Structure 1
Amino acid sequence: MIRAMTKQDFREFWPVFKDVILQQETYAFDPQMDENRAYQIWCEEPIKAFVYEDNGQVMGSYYLKANAMGPSDHICNCGYMVSPQARGKGVARKLCEHSQQQALLLGFRAMQFNSVVSSNQIAVALWEKLGYEIIGTIPKAYRHPHLGLIDSYIMYKWLE
């Protein structure tokens, strides 16, 4: 069900990706980004990108990349997106669990999420259930389209 993402997979997933960035509720991505730039950010710049597929349909995806270089290159970062029809079905959990396994296989020892929007309570609760801690709050870090300036969290988990 979870495998490396291909360019064709991304093309199929693009409407979901575009909708997420247009909503401007969870990702600090340019809402005017085109498909080519989105592919570059999600699939080419990270070390790996994966897709969750069910019955031949892309239901979610994540990327995995180093969070920093040099003496901090043992900490990785991931981003996750799930299609609306897959929400509430455990897809994000499966993607996160898979990403932790992949991170360890790639030699990472910890995972850090740099900006989890505080209003994304479902994601915050899931990450906490999976062992991530809020280690910092960035005040007024996100311009939410309905709530105005809200906080973002830095979340972290030691993987070993």
Structure 2
Amino acid sequence: MHIRDATAADWPAIWPFFRAIAAAGDTYTYPRDIGEERARSSWMPAGRRRTVVATAEDGTVLGTAKLEPNHQGPAAHIANASFMVAPEHAGHGAGRALGEHVLRLARAEGYRAMQFNAVVETNTKAVALWRSLGFEIVATLPEGFHHPVKGYVGLHIMYRLL
């Protein structure tokens, strides 16, 4: 597996799994019917933001992550990141590799901590992964997420120092 900065040429490989993950409505706060242009501009923004992809040896995009400031001004030293792994490649280490890579990248870019604003509490695999990488749940917004099957569930705010 190789992780590198994403380019515009990667978007056609990202969009199908981005669309499927958003449409499922069980792990992300994106609208379930998000359009491609809005998704692309959200996932691959310019400025002090980075998007990376994890690829297989043959170049297949396995997953992606974006890193950006969580806040502005005097709180811009806190990073935020988001991760998506193509469902057909889940469970093979791409999420962990992307998480470890983004943590290193955030430290190298001078961030002092990372905060995830909305980890759906029923997304137990993600919660376990982030805990294993040193994140802790600092708060949970009760009923902050409307899961399509489980109804209203909590949204965790997770945090770790870098």
Q: Taking structure 1 as the reference length, what is the TM-score of the superposition?
A: 0.96
Paired with 1:44 and 1:12, the residues of 2 have a C-alpha distance of: 17
- How far residue 153 of structure 1 moved from its aligned partner, in angstroms, is 0.3
- The gaps in structure 1 that reach 5 residues or longer are none
Per-residue deviation, residues 10-34 of structure 1 (Å, max 9, x unmatched) = 1111110000000000000012211
Amino acid across the alignment from 2:37:
N
Paired with 2:133 and 2:29, the residues of 1 have a C-alpha distance of: 23
For 2:155, the equivalent position in structure 1 comes to 152
- Pairing 1:133–2:146 present: no
Between stretches 20-29 and 45-54, larger displacement belongs to: 45-54
Paired with 2:91 and 2:30, the residues of 1 have a C-alpha distance of: 24
SS at match of 1:29: coil
- Pairing 1:97–2:100 present: yes
- Pairing 1:87–2:64 present: no
- The gaps in structure 2 that reach 5 residues or longer are none
Paired with 1:47 and 1:14, the residues of 2 have a C-alpha distance of: 19
For 1:110, the equivalent position in structure 2 comes to 113
CA RMSD of superposed structures (Å): 1.0
Per-residue deviation, residues 20-79 of structure 1 (Å, max 9, x unmatched) = 000000000012211111110000156110000102100000000000012211100000
For 2:11, the equivalent position in structure 1 comes to 10
Report % sequence identity: 39
For 2:126, the equivalent position in structure 1 comes to 123
Q: Taking structure 2 as the reference length, what is the TM-score of the superposition?
A: 0.95
- How far residue 89 of structure 1 moved from its aligned partner, in angstroms, is 0.7
Moved over 4 A (4+): none
1:68-79 matches, within 5 Å, as 68-79=71-82
For 2:26, the equivalent position in structure 1 comes to 25
Pairs aligned (count): 159
